[in-house]
Amino acid sequence: MGSTLFIVWRESVEAMLVVGILHSWLKYNAAGAAGLRALGLGVVCGIGLAGVLGWVMVAAQDELSGQALEWFQTGMLLVAAGLIAQMVLWMRRHGGAMRKTLHADLSTAMQRSGLWGIATVAALAIAREGAETAVFLYGVSLEPGSSASVLLGAMLGFGLAAFTAWALGRGLRFLDYRRFFALSGWMLLFFAVALLVSAVDRLIGAGLLPALVDPLWDSAWLLDDSNRLGSLLAALVGYRARPSLMLVGVYAAYWLLMLRVMRPARRNA
């Protein structure tokens, strides 16, 4: 449940901040009440689009079986891991200019298409956040024994996100949004590698990747990934008590790449 709660919390906070930014721009510009209604319509449509994506993924799984289902689920794990990493990197590079970018997009859309333009910008912004959340939750639900806790975690995460967005909007110093996105970004990268590890496990099990050495070590005497704490670490950071050499290599390569791309750019002297 912990990974579900965090993902919904993080993504919902971002979506709520997007709505808040658009609302503040419309409130002090010429769009008036009609513009705010268009914003509301866009938010509802965006949530609907994300819901459709979630339904499509579940429906596709119900129609598949055997090897096709295994391929689909493995592919979704890889897509979810890739989307999380991409989102964190995008926020790191463009998060500081998010308000300015949204204002510019909204101004252009309003000039070109009026109220429909406002609704479209809002719908696309919310649909993007909602679609990412749907993919992430689908990936988390593929973890053993996690499906029962997904709904509860999602509800708690959304409630926590509403409080966090309110606190950020009030400007509480301990909830500075830059620090929030930086810290939560690193936590999301751990979730991403956990999903990647699950996908690699499936590929090794299907014989599509060699294990090389299996197991490379056995730390089950210290912490077994089948008990409560071990399974939690497996879901949150990709811990394995008996990893193969291939799995360790993929894990190490992932973090070497992430540390390299997340490294602060050097300032010119």
- For range 19-47, the mean pLDDT: 76
Please determine, for residue 249, whether its predicted confidence score (pLDDT) is greater than 90.
yes
The rounded distance, in Å, linking the Cα atoms of 29 and 20 is 14
Q: How far apart are CA 211 and CA 54, in angstroms?
A: 33
Does a structural domain hold residue 269? no
How many independent structural domains does the chain possess?
A: 1
212: left (phi over 0), alpha (psi -120 to 50) or beta: left
Residue numbers of the domain that contains 69: 2-262
pLDDT score recorded for residue 268: 41
> Residue 29: is its pLDDT beyond 60?
yes
| φ and ψ of 241, to 5 deg | -75, -30
Distance of alpha carbon 75 from alpha carbon 90, whole angstroms? 22
More confident call, 218 vs 147 = 218
| Structural domain includes residue 268 | no
75 within domain boundaries: yes
For residues 256 and 150, which has the higher predicted lDDT (pLDDT)? 256
- Domain-embedded: residue 154: yes
CA atoms within a 13 Å half-sphere pointing along the CA-CB vector of 122: 29
**267 within some domain:** no
Report if residue 104 sits inside a domain. yes
Statement: residue 48 has pLDDT above 80: yes
Confidence (pLDDT) at 148: 57
Q: Structure pTM?
A: 0.72
**217: its two tokens:** 């070590």
Angle value at C-alpha 133, between 37 and 99, nearest 5 degrees: 50
- Cβ–Cβ < 8 Å for 193, 236: no
Residue 223 covered by a domain: yes
CA 1 – CA 3 distance, rounded (Å): 6
The pLDDT, as a whole number, for residue 173 is 52
Domain-located, residue 251: yes
- Asked if the model's pLDDT at residue 264 lies above 80, the reply is no
Percent of the chain clearing pLDDT 90 (strictly above): 12
Give the chain's mean pLDDT: 78
